[in-house]
A and B are shown apart, each in its own frame.
Chain A
Amino acid sequence: MISTVYRLSLRLLVTRGRLVALVAVGAVAVLLGVVVRAGGAEVDKSKAVYDVIDGYCLGVLAPVVALVFASAALGDPAEDGTLVYLWLKPVARWRVVVGALVASLSVALPLVVVPSVVAAAVSGVGHGVVGAAVAASALSVVAYTTIFLGLGLKVKRALVWGLAYVLIWEGAVARTGRGAARLAVHVYARSVLVDLSHRPKPKLVIAPFTSVFVPLVVAAVAVVVATRLLARAEVA
């Protein structure tokens, strides 16, 4: 059952337009890594590549890619009415959610992790930051994808709402204090990056165990919420 939903979701999610646009967004990260490498001796390359991974890969690339695929995985069928062809089947709702989630992750993870890793690698700073980029970007994609999957079922124009969340909450409000920061995926992913790349700790950072545990719990809760939303959906 999950495999059928997975294959179907993958077919529907992966369009040429989406792939080209998001590969281009990922290529910017690689380009920034090259720029860091080309920087002169006066440039702190270690800090510069950290800023690229944190500011661009975790702050822009991961949420945008996750949002595009996750919000569409169940949101598009809900909006165009094709959800009825999944909904009206003797399949537990969690299986539909998991199938769609795994399909979203299958596309979003490589589109975020690969550019992040390449950006870190081409900067020439060392392996430490590469490993940190893998862990932080993967954690970030998993958390964002599960959250935005349910968003696609909850609201129309989920892409707009998701972007508003990323730009306004994560990009602005979460920077203002520790309380708000604890409600931002970016802060947890950054904490993993800082911890694994042994960078000096910034002001808003989460303890190592918590920075991994909380996003995973949030992801699990988001799957449960998405399942309930799907079960209670009014299908067109």
Chain B
Amino acid sequence: MTIVVDKVTKTFRDVVALSEVSFTVAPGVTALLGPNGAGKSTMLRILAGLTPPSHGTVEILGRDPRGDPGLFRSIGLVPQQEALFEPLTGLEFVRVAADLHRLADPGGAARRAIELVELDPDDRRPLRAYSKGMRQRVKVAHAVVHEPEVLMLDEPLEGLDPRQRIRMIDLFRDLGTAGRTVVVSSHVLDEVEKFGSRVLVIAQGRLAAEGDFHAIRELMDDRPHRLRLGTDRPRELAAGLLAGGVVVGAWISGAEAVTVDTVDVGAFRRALAGVARDRSARLREVVPLDDDLDSVFRYLVARR
């Protein structure tokens, strides 16, 4: 395993950012999925050695990332913060990394890294003139210039246009396929799906779930769902759905609405139209009430 995290807890005064998180990461792309404030960035900072865990241990390639600068030859990090060395050009910024990594041809490596993220190495503008997407890409170039064995990226797709997102996702997948260990954090489920990766779900500072994307997706789909149904005959529709066994709870939530809980969304969807027809109920709307990612994460944390 490239990365071994064992019972890591991180506290900031009274705030517990991470609580007893354990996992391992092998070569390939692994996504750290979780809502904002879940502890993903803190986890990445600990993995990169930028901050020590309060308890627990982290090993990258069998070494402690804290206090072993030599390990940084094998690590690349794209941090979340936007600040860069503003007076430098993009090429100069990446060249600093190439020089500090003592690459044989730092100038050539910097140009190649800049071109890899589809920026112009001859752009003479300082970084302070770069757009958010360009800043994000130059950060990636800075992180990959030395071709690290382990690449960690904190929300790397933020600020990128759709075409650049695709380009970056392809890049991460290629690196993973080539045997690199790529850890990408994201709070967007659809992004993670595109990585085609293993997923670690972090929520409320805890590891809420782990597995490949499809397993996580199934887990999320299998959870109880709450929906509001707009109809002119809420009592009849509720009775029909309960009688059909496709909902586990139903209550009238307005003159023309009924709220239901179901544990099998697929069966519910298939049965709904028939029940409404049988009960002569006109169906006006079906609104999922807990389909936002936060509620999904809350569910995953609660079931663990």
Contacts and interface: CB of A to CB of B under 8 A. Distances in A.
B50 A88 contact: yes
Interface string A59-83: 0000000000000000000001110
A88 to B, nearest CB: 5
A82 B75 contact: no
B14 to A, nearest CB: 17
A1 B102 CA distance: 8
Interface residues of B, number: 29
A234 interface: yes
Nearest to B143: A88
Given A89-B72, A236-B81, 4 more contacts: A90-B70, A90-B73, A90-B102, A231-B67
Contact of A4 (B51, B75, B100): B100
B169 interface: no
Contacts of A88: 48-50, 72, 75, 77
Residue from B84, B96, B102 whose CB has the most chain A CB atoms within 10 Å: B96
Residue from A1, A87, A88 whose CB has the most chain B CB atoms within 10 Å: A88
Nearest to B92: A11
Contacts, number: 67
Contacts of B288: none
Interface of B: 45, 48-52, 67, 69-73, 75, 77, 79, 81, 83-85, 87-88, 93, 96-97, 99-102, 142
A61 to B, nearest CB: 26
B69 to A, nearest CB: 5
B81 A81 contact: yes
A90 B50 contact: no
Given A81-B79, A234-B50, A92 B69 contact: yes
Contacts of A8: 85, 88, 96
Interface of A: 1, 4-5, 8, 11-12, 80-82, 84-93, 231, 234-236
11 contacts: A1-B102, A4-B96, A8-B96, A81-B83, A82-B85, A84-B77, A88-B72, A90-B100, A93-B69, A231-B67, A234-B51
Contacts of A85: 84-85, 93, 96-97, 142
